[in-house]
Amino acid sequence: MSYQSDSSPLYSIWTVQDSLLQYYRTMFLTAESLLLGLAANTKQFWPTLVLIVLAAILLAVWISVTTSRARNVQFAQQMIRWHEIGRVIDRPFAVFKDFQEAPNDEPYQVNFLDAGGSDTFAHERLWPPKQGWKFLRWPARLHMEIVLPTTYGLCGIAILAISLLSR
């Protein structure tokens, strides 16, 4: 069997997860921008407050969903890395679904068919950093998962403050 056909389920898993992550980011950026834009253009305080509260709820959901999906993408990438060094995972889709159901903060144990036994995968959380500032190796992840949501949150606070001050 060729290398590509051996690894195609792994690449399929990674492609789907990465596409979902990009889609969710786009969806949240659009929705958050619309809510903040409407709040900034509302002349009355109470409608502004309602829009800012909705934006804050959406921001919390954004962070939760994209962090979880980024964890899935990271695991799919690790499965491909294991495959590339000859570590064979039996039933990769079942392993991936088990990983998704596992607790987020605990290392996940993966068993291989080869004589190598097993390995663990620990999700590298961006915040709070457990191992110093190691996550800075991924500047896009830093911006998409920390800087951008923080900026949107600060914009919401600024819009609310301006609305309060102009009453």
pLDDT in tens, 33-46: 999 999 999 989 99
The C-alpha atoms of residue 96 and residue 10 are separated, in whole angstroms, by 9
State how many domains the chain has. Answer: 1
Which span out of 54-68, 102-116, 117-131, 143-157 was modeled with the highest average pLDDT? 54-68
Whether residue 77 contacts residue 32, with contact meaning beta carbons closer than 8 Å, is answered with: no
Q: What percent of the chain has pLDDT over 70?
A: 81
Q: What percent of the chain has pLDDT over 90?
A: 43
pLDDT, position 61: 93
Token duo for residue 35: 């809510």
The C-alpha atoms of residue 41 and residue 163 are separated, in whole angstroms, by 10
Instruction: Answer whether residue 155 shows pLDDT above 70.
Output: yes
Whether residue 14 contacts residue 73, with contact meaning beta carbons closer than 8 Å, is answered with: yes
The C-alpha atoms of residue 48 and residue 66 are separated, in whole angstroms, by 26
31: amino acid identity, one letter: A
Domain that holds residue 76: 3-121+130-165
**What average pLDDT score do residues 14-32 get?**
94
